[in-house]
Structure 1
Amino acid sequence: MPEEKNSEVARKLELLKLRFKEKATTDIGLLRAAADRFRAGDFSASDIASVYHSLHRLAGSAGTFGFSALGEEARSLEIMLKPLADMDDDSSGSAIAAEQGRDVVNQAFVDRVAQLESLLSLEQGAPLTGDDASPRASAERSEESVVLIVDPDQDAARDLACGLEFHGFLANIFPSVESAVVNGLAGVSVMVVRDDLVIRESRQLGSVADKPPIICVGAGDSFSQRYRLAERGVDGFVCEPVDIPVLADYMERLITERDEGGSGRVMIVDDDPELLEHYGLVLEEGGMEVRRVNKPAEILSVLSEFRPDIVLMDVQMGTFTGPNLARMLRFDPEWLGLPIIFLSSEEDREFQVAALAKGGDDFLTKPVSDAFLLRAVKVRCYRARQLGKLASRDSLTGLLKHSVAKFEIQKEHARCQRLGQQSVVAMLDLDHFKQVNDRYGHRTGDLVIKGLANLLRHRLRKSDVIGRYGGEEFVVALPDCSVENARQVLQSVCDHMAGIIFTANGQEFTVTLSVGVAPLQNSPTGDDALEAADQALYRRKQSGRNGVMVSGDEPEPAGTVS
């Protein structure tokens, strides 16, 4: 995080702390007034409820802003008052019997309430930030993934770099771990390192705070060797001779896991504006996209528009409770799988289980440090996104499923029609793919399909739609792209695909690709554009395969289609 941005976040957090202190001073004044009425024997149900909820808010938020002693004392008083608050919930009357009130709200209780303001005046250090007071946003993935190959055998390293280039990786070569670390690992997507170097030079790797995923290459493949590498924090292992398509697929998976592990969409629902803003700032500076909801009545509209990965929800918000709001959200089947995490200072396990039974998924107990909040949210967002992929992503390639890709293309078509912009849709098909399956087996065929999927991810933009249409056929949509630019980009994909060497049964082989392209905005519907691209693909097959045909181009002499 740039220093000036870090300073701005610190300034905002300090302002929130001052706002909390001002608000807490007012709340404590109201608590003392209620305590004076208790001293006089006036135990009205409304006063009991008001005091209980004020103590609950202080217990949950004070520690977040650096007033841990105040939060702990408020929590202790809240627990003492809970029997009366529960009695009020079950009572139809407006007053609590004097003898019942005095058993709980005795002189010692009143005196402790009076001392709360002195705890607020104590400076108790910085807010709860845990180990990392300035969480950093994860670096966005570059258009071309950079791989560091660390191997003293420079000829072998160059051969590996050349092979990975066809899969969309830009490789830099170093003879040792030390030289790679000295050069810097910023912007590096993954490291491929000889296993003996990792074991000998693990201290240099251990000194790097934010290492990219590490895959080791080794001649031996024993349990003890793998375990030693795992001890040193290695993320993967491949045995020599290296099958480059397998390694590329391995690298792609690790890079994707790392990228997605640091991002997510979070909706926070809390009626405390200072706490809501504090949580939002912490998560945003940690790389999360956040939507804040201060009024529970706005939940449904924000959900539909923002579509978060997870929801953080306070348990008690005035007349609303988190568990009842969660149950209400589950009325709509669309939100049945949405993870809802309750935030509360309530530590009673029975209460937590009862709250989860109404529609929640997890509890985070207040006060929660900034660093722990960020880590917990990132883990839960990553898990939610992984589960979401099961419904929308093809299990073999990780690309959009047929139906989802078509839906995205329909949306892009509508956008083109509305804004008068140009976009392109393309159908892609692996040439003679049946022969690959027949000759080398379906496992090898799957590897070829994944090789093309990874190539498309690297060669196309993040904003492009990429889907597996079925079998060996793929579909892409390129927003804000001319036909000629699309032709050039997809021809480059064809060239790179033809350069990838696959190995099976001791034999090397290559696979080519045919592509049909159509302008999306020129068709009445998205389906019509897909049909035009499919017809162009068919003509490309007739014309000799291994290249790009644009809808409307004159077909070359016909040939056999496969």
Structure 2
Amino acid sequence: MADQNSADVARKLALLKMRFREKALCALSSLQQSLSRVHSSGVDSGEILSAYQSLHRLAGSAGTFGYSALGREARELEQIIKPFVEKAPGTHDDVSQFLDQSFMRRVEGLSDMVSGGGSESTPTGSALEEGLRDVAEPMVVLVEPEPDRARSLASALTHHGFIIHSYSGLLDVPERVLVDASAVLVRDSLFSAGGNTFGTDVTLPPIICVGSVDGFDDRYKLAENGADGFFPEPVDVPLLADYIERLIGERLELGKGRVLIVDDDPELLEHYGLVLEDGGMNVHKVRSPSELLGALSEFQPDLVLMDVQMGHYSGPTLARMLRFDPEWVGLHIIFLSSEDDREFQVDALSKGGDVFLTKPISDSFLLRAVRVKCNRARQLAKLASRDSLTGLLKHSLVKQEVGKEHSRCRRFGQDSVVAMLDLDHFKLVNDRFGHRTGDLVIKGLANLLRHRLRKTDVIGRYGGEEFLVVMPDCSLENAVEALQAVCEQMRRISYTSKGQEFFVTVSIGLAPLAAFENGEEAIEAADQALYVQKSRGRNGVSVFGEADIGSAGKVVQCTS
């Protein structure tokens, strides 16, 4: 399927190149006729401006379609005309200073550059970024030559929700497993001695080394060989699990992003869209700047990719206009232009842009630049909407999700469930082992919920050691089964602090969302069921009793 998609993208890019070639030949024919009229009849500032704009467009777009030499030559000719365009209209003698036979021959030569074809287009998307694909399951490769240590670490990580594939040597790991892995754990002696010797050219997932030697030189050697992390023995497994989770999250974020492209050149607009979509971006294309505000509100992009000049619209002026609205003050804006004057670029950025990319730009560089900026934009947005400790939705936002799902399931008559979770005896953990250890336990449950629940389930940190989960299109029976599995998994996770091993359990209360008048009542019902489970001995699941559905009174009946 990936090969088919790449072939389809390559075919579309080739068609765009043909369209550019045809339009460029027409534009150059008009350009030659226009300049011939000026050369023979005298000064016409409108004709000169039109010629300048035509050369400017060619300089900015030719390289994208493989005509790098054409772009460079058009850029040089554009710079020759530019001083005249920026001044008041002059005399025929002024025009003759640049519009001589040599200049005209160079303009005629542009058509030959187009007719001669262009260089090969730069491969894009999946061909360049094989390693940045979404990982369906958190699978971790463990490379450990000592069987007992391998079994012990694999067992501990399994309780944190990871699928473990164990091997005794680097060369034993199949290429297909490396491609699908979320992370690789390697004995430090294997990695230090041989470096990155997996015997494959595929893009590797994050590599974390484990070992007993923990000096400066040892760590430097691991970093030099490409390691992404190191954990000394004895391994703090909850801390390791949290580190793996963070690396997975960072890696997956690189393959995502919502990009709004604004460009009045249809071929460039389509080309940039294909390149970014093939690289995993969600793209919305706007050809007319007058449609920009509506597209922003509807699409809610992470980033805007915008040409600097689109007809009589200025990109920097559009950026300044967007900043009028507080909603778009933090929106990342990348300018694309063939303008290489540094003063012009700085001035454009001062009006509201964040990055200035000079055309022509390779497809691979564009994809990487957009990915980096999208990742940064999403990180900043995440800080505003996500709990800093767990990465889950904050209290207010997860409550909003309950309200949205309540409206949806009442409207369509579908079952949905809301669940309230609370770590048992958590205050004792903080009092005995400290808040740092308590934070690890909270993150451990957050990671477990992410792994064990469905992608469609919404998880939030409700406060302290409490969590709120919305399970759309889910029966009570299925919700009980899924969350009982979470309870069972949680009680098996071993934590160690101050030389002591301990375990933590979780209590859960459930309520059928559609049975209540609003989301707030459903949350209250789930909370009541939670505390019934607490009174029953904790470590399990209780469901709000049917006798109380639609009532805000006491719980009469709960089932475990």
The alignment's TM-score, normalised by the length of structure 1, stands at: 0.94
Partner of residue 550, structure 2: none
The answer to whether the aligner puts 1:339 opposite 2:339 as a matched pair is no
Partner of residue 443, structure 2: 450
Instruction: Provide the rounded CA distance (Å) in 2 between the counterparts of 1:509 and 1:130.
Output: 50
Letter in 1 for 2:35: A
Letter in 1 for 2:403: Q
Q: How does 1:392-411 map to 2 (within 5 A)?
A: 392-411=385-404
Letter in 1 for 2:94: Q
User: Which stretch shifts more, 62-71 or 205-214?
Assistant: 205-214
Asked if structure 2 preserves the Cα contact closer than 8 Å seen for 1:542 and 1:557, the reply is no
CA deviation profile, 1:190-216 (whole Å, cap 9, x unmatched): 111100011223252374321111110
Instruction: Indicate which of 525, 529, 553 corresponds to 1:536.
Output: 529
Letter in 1 for 2:545: G
Instruction: Provide the rounded CA distance (Å) in 1 between the counterparts of 2:524 and 2:91.
Output: 78
Q: Offset at 1:135?
A: 4.9
Partner of residue 19, structure 2: 19
Letter in 2 for 1:84: F
CA deviation profile, 1:281-324 (whole Å, cap 9, x unmatched): 11111111111111111111111121111111011111111111
Instruction: Provide the rounded CA distance (Å) in 2 between the counterparts of 1:536 and 1:503.
Output: 31
Q: Offset at 1:182?
A: 5.7
Q: Offset at 1:41?
A: 4.4
CA deviation profile, 1:468-507 (whole Å, cap 9, x unmatched): 1111111111111111111111111111111111111000
Provide closer, same or farther for how the CA distance between residues 557 and 159 of structure 1 changes in structure 2, counting only shifts above 3 A.
farther
Letter in 2 for 1:357: S
Q: Offset at 1:525?
A: 1.9
The answer to whether the aligner puts 1:176 opposite 2:169 as a matched pair is yes
Say which SS state the counterpart of residue 40 (structure 1) adopts: helix
CA deviation profile, 1:5-35 (whole Å, cap 9, x unmatched): 2222111111101100111111111111111
Partner of residue 520, structure 1: 513
Asked if structure 2 preserves the Cα contact closer than 8 Å seen for 1:327 and 1:358, the reply is yes
Instruction: Provide the rounded CA distance (Å) in 1 between the counterparts of 2:66 and 2:257.
Output: 27
Partner of residue 272, structure 1: 265
Say which SS state the counterpart of residue 545 (structure 2) adopts: coil
The answer to whether the aligner puts 1:244 opposite 2:237 as a matched pair is yes
Asked if structure 1 preserves the Cα contact closer than 8 Å seen for 2:134 and 2:255, the reply is no
Partner of residue 124, structure 1: 118
Partner of residue 360, structure 1: 353
Say which SS state the counterpart of residue 439 (structure 2) adopts: helix
Provide closer, same or farther for how the CA distance between residues 134 and 22 of structure 1 changes in structure 2, counting only shifts above 3 A.
farther
Partner of residue 509, structure 1: 502
Provide closer, same or farther for how the CA distance between residues 183 and 310 of structure 1 changes in structure 2, counting only shifts above 3 A.
closer
Asked if structure 2 preserves the Cα contact closer than 8 Å seen for 1:401 and 1:468, the reply is yes
Provide closer, same or farther for how the CA distance between residues 381 and 5 of structure 1 changes in structure 2, counting only shifts above 3 A.
same
Instruction: Provide the rounded CA distance (Å) in 2 between the counterparts of 1:412 and 1:380.
Output: 32
Letter in 1 for 2:102: A
Provide closer, same or farther for how the CA distance between residues 177 and 380 of structure 1 changes in structure 2, counting only shifts above 3 A.
same
- Give the CA RMSD over aligned residues: 2.0
Provide closer, same or farther for how the CA distance between residues 245 and 133 of structure 1 changes in structure 2, counting only shifts above 3 A.
closer
CA deviation profile, 1:522-545 (whole Å, cap 9, x unmatched): 222222221121121122212221
- For structure 1, the residue ranges without an aligned partner over 5 or more in a row are none
User: Which stretch shifts more, 51-60 or 109-118?
Assistant: 109-118
Letter in 1 for 2:366: L
Q: How does 1:414-493 map to 2 (within 5 A)?
A: 414-493=407-486
Asked if structure 1 preserves the Cα contact closer than 8 Å seen for 2:2 and 2:126, the reply is no
Asked if structure 2 preserves the Cα contact closer than 8 Å seen for 1:39 and 1:110, the reply is no
Letter in 1 for 2:116: L
Instruction: Provide the rounded CA distance (Å) in 2 between the counterparts of 1:353 and 1:182.
Output: 46
Say which SS state the counterpart of residue 515 (structure 2) adopts: coil
Asked if structure 2 preserves the Cα contact closer than 8 Å seen for 1:427 and 1:474, the reply is yes
Instruction: Provide the rounded CA distance (Å) in 2 between the counterparts of 1:161 and 1:135.
Output: 29
Asked if structure 2 preserves the Cα contact closer than 8 Å seen for 1:137 and 1:286, the reply is no
Partner of residue 110, structure 1: 104
Asked if structure 1 preserves the Cα contact closer than 8 Å seen for 2:143 and 2:168, the reply is yes
Instruction: Provide the rounded CA distance (Å) in 1 between the counterparts of 2:196 and 2:519.
Output: 55
CA deviation profile, 1:85-123 (whole Å, cap 9, x unmatched): 323xxx5xxx54434333343443233222211111112
- Number of positions where the alignment pairs a residue of Structure 1 with one of Structure 2: 551
Provide closer, same or farther for how the CA distance between residues 380 and 250 of structure 1 changes in structure 2, counting only shifts above 3 A.
same
Asked if structure 2 preserves the Cα contact closer than 8 Å seen for 1:422 and 1:520, the reply is yes
Say which SS state the counterpart of residue 15 (structure 2) adopts: helix
Letter in 1 for 2:13: L
Say which SS state the counterpart of residue 379 (structure 2) adopts: helix
- For structure 2, the residue ranges without an aligned partner over 5 or more in a row are 548-554
Instruction: Provide the rounded CA distance (Å) in 2 between the counterparts of 1:81 and 1:385.
Output: 43
Letter in 1 for 2:160: H
Instruction: Provide the rounded CA distance (Å) in 2 between the counterparts of 1:343 and 1:19.
Output: 21
Instruction: Provide the rounded CA distance (Å) in 1 between the counterparts of 2:449 and 2:31.
Output: 63
Provide closer, same or farther for how the CA distance between residues 74 and 263 of structure 1 changes in structure 2, counting only shifts above 3 A.
same
Asked if structure 1 preserves the Cα contact closer than 8 Å seen for 2:183 and 2:207, the reply is yes
Say which SS state the counterpart of residue 508 (structure 2) adopts: strand
Instruction: Provide the rounded CA distance (Å) in 1 between the counterparts of 2:557 and 2:478.
Output: 25
Partner of residue 231, structure 1: 224
Letter in 1 for 2:118: Q
Asked if structure 2 preserves the Cα contact closer than 8 Å seen for 1:181 and 1:204, the reply is no
- Aligned-residue sequence identity (percent) comes to 58
Partner of residue 160, structure 1: 153
Partner of residue 552, structure 2: none
CA deviation profile, 1:356-396 (whole Å, cap 9, x unmatched): 11110001111111111111111111111111111111111
